[in-house]
Amino acid sequence: MAGKIQIPENLKAELPPNKWGKILGATPIVMTVVATMLAGLASSEMTKAQYDRALAAQLQSKAGDQWGYFQAKKMRSALAHNSLELLQATTGVKFLDNDELPQKNGVIFRALFAGQLPEAKVAPFNEKVKAALSALAENKSETEISALLTQTSKTELDEALVAARQSVMDFDAAIKPISQALEAEENIAIAAGGEKLRSFNATRFRFQAARYDAEARLNQTIANIYELQVRKGNVSAEKHHARSGKFFFGMLAAQMAVIISTFAIAARQKNLLWSVAAVAGLAAVAFSLYVYLYV
C-alpha cells in the first residue's frame, strides 16, 4: 500500500491556521486541475471549429451540385426558346389548339396550351429563413447575412431544405402526366408530318422552355439554402475558434497561478505569493465561465 501523501509539517506551520490557510495550501493542486480543465475545453472548442469547417465544405459541394442543375435547366430553357424562335421565324408555324388534340389528352393539353403550367409552389419557409434568403439574393454583406443567420438555427435551415426539396418533387409529380402525354402525341405528329409536326414541335418547345424555367427556380432555391448552411457553419466555426482562444488564455492564467504558488513554496513567502496565485486562479475561472456562458 502506498503511503498517504501529506504536506510536510514545516510547511503546514507556516500557513495561517484557518480556512484561508487551507485554501492557500490547496492552491497549486486546484490551479493544476483548473488549467487541465481549461486546456480540455480549448481543445474541444477547436475540434468543434474544425468539424464545422469540414461540414461547411461538404455543404458547399452540395450547393455546387445544385448550381450545376440550375445552369443545366437554364441552358435547356434557352435552347427551347431559341428552337421555338427559329421555327417561328422560318416557317411561321402556329401552336396546336384544343381542336387538334385527341380527346383522351384534352384536359392535360388544354391546361398546357392555355399557358397554365402546374404551379411551382414556393416552400413555406419561416420568416427568419426568408429574411436570410432575401439578404443573399440582394447580395448584402457577409456581416449582415451572418447577423441574420445567428438568429436562425440549424434545424430551421434543415427544415427549409426539406421543404424546398419537397417542392421539387411536387412539381415533378404535377408535370409528369403532361410530359407523358407529349410523348404519346409525338408519335401521332411524326406520322402526320408537315404542318401538324411543326405545330407540335412549336408547342413542345414552348412547354419545355416554361418547364425548365420553373425547375431552374426550384433548384436555385435549394442552392441558396445550401449557401446559407455553409455560411451558418462558418459562423459557428468562428465562434468555436474564438472560444478556444479565450479558454487558452484562461489556461495560461491558471498555469501562472500554479507557477507562482510553486515559487511561493520555494521562497517561503507563501502568504503574499499564494494570495497572488489565488487571485490569478479566480480570475482564470471567472473569465472561463464568462466565455462558456456568453461567448
Choice between 218 and 122, residue whose per-residue pLDDT is larger: 218
Residue 25 has pLDDT above 50, yes or no: yes
Among 270, 250, 238, residue whose Cα is nearest residue 42: 250
pLDDT band at 1 (very low <50, low <70, confident <90, very high): very low
Task: Let me know the angle formed at the C-alpha of 284 by 282 and 285, rounded to the nearest 5 degrees.
Answer: 65
Sign for the CA dihedral angle at 186, 190, 193, 197 comes to positive
Closest CA to 23 of 256, 261, 254, 285: 261
Pairwise CA distance, residues 282 & 25, whole Å: 15
More confident site: 18 or 280: 280
Q: What gap in Å lies between CA 12 and CA 7, rounded to an integer?
A: 7
| Confidence tier at 100 by pLDDT (50, 70, 90) | low
Predicted confidence at residue 10, as pLDDT, reads 53
Mean pLDDT (the chain) is 78
pLDDT band at 291 (very low <50, low <70, confident <90, very high): low
Average pLDDT estimate for 265-278: 57
pLDDT at 2 (0 to 100):
43
What pLDDT, on the 0 to 100 scale, is given for residue 261? 66
Indicate yes or no: pTM above 0.85: no
Provide the pLDDT confidence category of residue 75 given band limits of 50, 70 and 90: very high
**Model confidence over 198-240: pLDDT tens digits?**
888 888 888 888 889 989 999 999 999 999 999 999 998 988 8
Segment 38-67, tens digit of pLDDT: 888 888 889 999 999 999 999 999 999 999
Q: Quick check: 68 pLDDT over 70?
A: yes
The pLDDT confidence band at residue 21, using thresholds 50, 70 and 90, is low
Q: Which of 69-73, 96-100, 173-177, 205-209 has the lowest mean pLDDT?
A: 96-100
Q: What percent of the chain has pLDDT over 70?
A: 72
